[in-house]
Structure 1
Amino acid sequence: MNYILFDGPSRNSLLPFTFTRPVADIRIGILTIREKWEMFLDSTTTTVTEDYLSDKYPMVEMDENVMINASYLPNLELVEMVKGLQDNQAIFKDEDVIAFFHKDSQEEVNFETYEAIEFNEEVIKIEHTWDIFLKNGEALQEDFNLITNGRESIPLSSSNNTIAPQNIFIEEGAKLEFVTLNASNGPIYIGKNAEIMEGTLIRGPFALGDDSIVKMGAKIYGPTTVGSGCKVGGEITNSVIFDHSNKGHEGYLGNSVIGEWCNLGADTNTSNLKNNYAQVRLWDYETERFANTGLQFCGLMMGDHSKCGINTMFNTGTVVGVSSNIFGSGFPRNFIPSFSWGGSGGFTPFITKKAFEVAEVVMARRNIEFTDQDKAILEHIFEETKKYRRE
């Protein structure tokens, strides 16, 4: 069977992260949503997403396909139902479509003609940006069970201090000495060739991706995920950092999501709680206004390729778009559009030529090419988000 992950109606409420990727390529837990589905299905997947992303994330359609809503994370019960789908059948959760059988000859799908199969079990669904950190602990536990099933961790050096070591899994090539790992509240997973420097304190649930580094004396509270190729330090609480991003110095990051290719300057701090303890309002790209999250704790949402200078302060519930550069004293506003350059004193547009120069240098440091596809995606985002900037 050919499996295709589609963005679904949650795509816009997951901006700015879905400006640069399909919903399927959001990281939550240890793996991306796509990686989870592919492990469960033992099959590769392709994507139905926005037209401007389709060159980089193409769809492969065959005679018979199963379309899967990428907002839903797989579990054993759901995957069995998806694998069993037949012609003219669809899986629903309440009124939401999770998956359906599709033939390449079908131009439109009329679900009134489908046999509706109701999924009544619990399932994790990612509908809003804050779900990425809010549901990260549950997703991390499920990924840990999936990845480590039937496998043995490499042994830890006796210099390390561990609590609940049965909940700790270390991949080949990882280096850690004189580190405290407390997995009593959730698992700790350390990826291949990752390094945790001495003096670090980690309380699970926690995942560190391949080739990532935790610097000396860092304090990390779960549930937290750091993707591959990252460098982190200081204090981090209940946050998700996508691949190739750095928070390498002192400063606090809490209840936040950081995209790929981001850099937080030394002593950058995020507020995750309002002084009056009120619920946090966050910029909503669909309504183009601030909306109540229902959360008391919510920090920073930063899109891909964005960066901030030393001593940057972010107010509770700040949204930063793609490829913005924030610096200077004082609190910048709570919504910073994509391709913005400035700080609390105001912003000017960050023109694409300059943004591309930065992206090319940053990616080359990790031996990754900044391709024409990447340029085309960012150019589209620049034009699409022009209405939010003061040109």
Structure 2
Amino acid sequence: MAIILFDDNARNTLLPLTFTRPVADLRIGILTIAEKWGKHMAREFSFYTEEYLQAKFPMVIESDNFFINGSVCPDENLVAIISELQTGEAIVLDDVLIAVRLNMADAKSFSPDIYLSGALKYDSKVTRIQYPEHIFRNNDDELRKDFALLTNGRTSATISSTNTIIGDAFFAEEGAQAECCTFSAVNGPIYLANDTEVWEGTNIRGPFALCEYSQLKMGTKVYGATTIGPYCRIGGEVNNAVVWGYSNKGHEGYLGNAVVGEWCNLGADTNNSNLKNNYSTVKLWDYTTKGYRDTGLQFCGLIMADHAKSGINTMFNTGTVVGVNANVFGGGYPSTHIPDFAWGGSSGFEEYAYNKAMETTARVFARREHRTFNEAEQNILKTVFELTRDL
């Protein structure tokens, strides 16, 4: 039995975050959406996604296949209903295909649109990630759900007595290290994955997750609901942010109501605004309309796609969207739409030369011995470069 997470039109409204991954590879809570489904259904998973992503995110078809919408986060009720689907049956919510069960022959010709007619109606609420801001907005609920999923029936490892833990919803995996820190789980759970490090003087308020091999530097201040993905190094002040993995914010500076992709680096004293001076709602650049979309949110900070970088003292205005492999530097506020493969700052941008960008990316990968900047990774970035040259 195979679980296949498929992309629908949410893939386009989630750009630029989904230029480099399927929708179900988005991290929200502790796990990615795909990892959530895999654990709930106790099965391996694969992806139905854009052709240029398939070398890294292949689809695996078996004789029995559950195609599940990659923008939908699982819950116990939804998992139970999907598990009971018979071959050929589908469920929809408001004309959105949630899931369909298919044999091998039908799976090979799968397309989301053809299963809307005659599908079963699902009438309960689901958490669906359609826009970038949905990630930090829903992170509180997903942190709590993932914490319960990962810690059910288990006992936390013991951490040093030099720490102060307030509340009961605290869990540390084996190998997690912390000294002289404060963990307040009164407002939400706190999860420290294996081989994480929380350095002296750090204060954390849940809900919060620190994923494997990541570090919080000395004196870091973290407010919920925040997730730090694997292999990150974080310092300064962080509030309601999701940092996916392999990214660094190693120095002072504020990051709030934000999503930061993989392989990003925020230079020392990089700050983002998350509230406009006139307290009006925040608009974000939308790739589907090539214009600004009103989020309806008063608090909305930075959306940064994979491989983007900011120089020292960079200031991001409220509701800034930074594209894939953009390199931002210099004084003043850059525009709130920073294109993919852009090079520059408040005085303007030029195209970040592809070969130069790849040289930098190769050096960044080389810092992680277990990751290789292979042909699949290179081809994804080359395709994104070509797709976005005229945007």
Instruction: Identify the TM-score tier after normalising by the shorter chain.
Output: over 0.9
Alignment check: 8 A CA contact 2:159 2:176 kept: no
Aligned residue pairs, count: 386
Q: Percent identity?
A: 51
Match of 1:111 among 109, 115, 126: 115
1:211 counterpart residue number: 213
65-74 or 138-147, which moves further after superposition?
65-74
Shift in Å, 1:16: 1.0
Q: What is the CA–CA distance in structure 1 between the aligned matches of 2:220 and 2:5, rounded to whole Å?
A: 37
Which digits, 9 at most, give the CA deviation of each residue in 1:250-276, with x for residues without a partner?
000000000000000000000000000
Match of 1:180 among 175, 179, 182: 182
Alignment check: 8 A CA contact 2:272 2:316 kept: yes
Alignment check: 8 A CA contact 1:219 1:234 kept: yes
- 1:374 maps onto 2:381 in alignment: no
Shift in Å, 1:119: 2.4
Q: What is the CA–CA distance in structure 1 between the aligned matches of 2:163 and 2:132, rounded to whole Å?
A: 35
Shift in Å, 1:315: 0.4
Q: What is the CA–CA distance in structure 2 between the aligned matches of 1:19 and 1:91, rounded to whole Å?
A: 27
One-letter code of the match for 1:230? C
Once the two structures are superposed, the pairs formed by residues 78-117 of structure 1 within 5 Å of their partners are 78-106=78-106, 107=109, 110-111=114-115, 114=118, 116-117=119-120
Alignment check: 8 A CA contact 1:88 1:113 kept: no
Alignment check: 8 A CA contact 1:315 1:334 kept: yes
Once the two structures are superposed, the pairs formed by residues 10-159 of structure 1 within 5 Å of their partners are 10-106=10-106, 107=109, 110-111=114-115, 114=118, 116-159=119-162
Shift in Å, 1:87: 2.2
- 1:234 maps onto 2:236 in alignment: yes
Alignment check: 8 A CA contact 1:202 1:220 kept: yes
Alignment check: 8 A CA contact 2:100 2:115 kept: no
Which digits, 9 at most, give the CA deviation of each residue in 1:96-130, with x for residues without a partner?
2100122333346633664x323233321111100
Q: What is the CA–CA distance in structure 2 between the aligned matches of 1:190 and 1:126, rounded to whole Å?
A: 25
Q: What is the CA–CA distance in structure 1 between the aligned matches of 2:293 and 2:117, rounded to whole Å?
A: 36
TM-score normalised according to structure 1 size: 0.97
- 1:361 maps onto 2:363 in alignment: yes
Runs ≥4 in structure 1, deviation > 6 angstroms? Answer: none
Match of 1:246 among 248, 253, 259: 248
Shift in Å, 1:131: 0.5
2:390 counterpart residue number: 387
- 1:298 maps onto 2:300 in alignment: yes
1:334 counterpart residue number: 336
Structure 2 residue matching 1:259: 3-state secondary structure? strand
One-letter code of the match for 1:384? L
What residue ranges of structure 2 are gaps of 5+ in the alignment?
none
Structure 2 residue matching 1:38: 3-state secondary structure? helix
One-letter code of the match for 1:142? K
Which digits, 9 at most, give the CA deviation of each residue in 1:129-176, with x for residues without a partner?
000000000000000000000100012322111210x20000111110
75-84 or 301-310, which moves further after superposition?
75-84
Which digits, 9 at most, give the CA deviation of each residue in 1:323-358, with x for residues without a partner?
011000000001011111111111111111111111
Residues 113, 124 of structure 1: alpha-carbon distance in 2 compared, 3 angstrom cutoff: closer
Structure 2 residue matching 1:91: 3-state secondary structure? strand
1:350 counterpart residue number: 352
Alignment check: 8 A CA contact 1:203 1:221 kept: yes
Alignment check: 8 A CA contact 1:194 1:208 kept: yes
1:321 counterpart residue number: 323
2:201 counterpart residue number: 199
- 1:225 maps onto 2:227 in alignment: yes
Q: What is the CA–CA distance in structure 2 between the aligned matches of 1:37 and 1:259, rounded to whole Å?
A: 21
TM-score normalised according to structure 2 size: 0.97
Structure 1 residue matching 2:390: 3-state secondary structure? helix
CA RMSD of aligned residues (A): 1.2
Q: What is the CA–CA distance in structure 2 between the aligned matches of 1:55 and 1:212, rounded to whole Å?
A: 27
Q: What is the CA–CA distance in structure 2 between the aligned matches of 1:41 and 1:63, rounded to whole Å?
A: 17
Q: What is the CA–CA distance in structure 1 between the aligned matches of 2:124 and 2:152, rounded to whole Å?
A: 22
Which digits, 9 at most, give the CA deviation of each residue in 1:265-292, with x for residues without a partner?
0000000000000000000000010110
Alignment check: 8 A CA contact 2:144 2:189 kept: yes
One-letter code of the match for 1:228? P
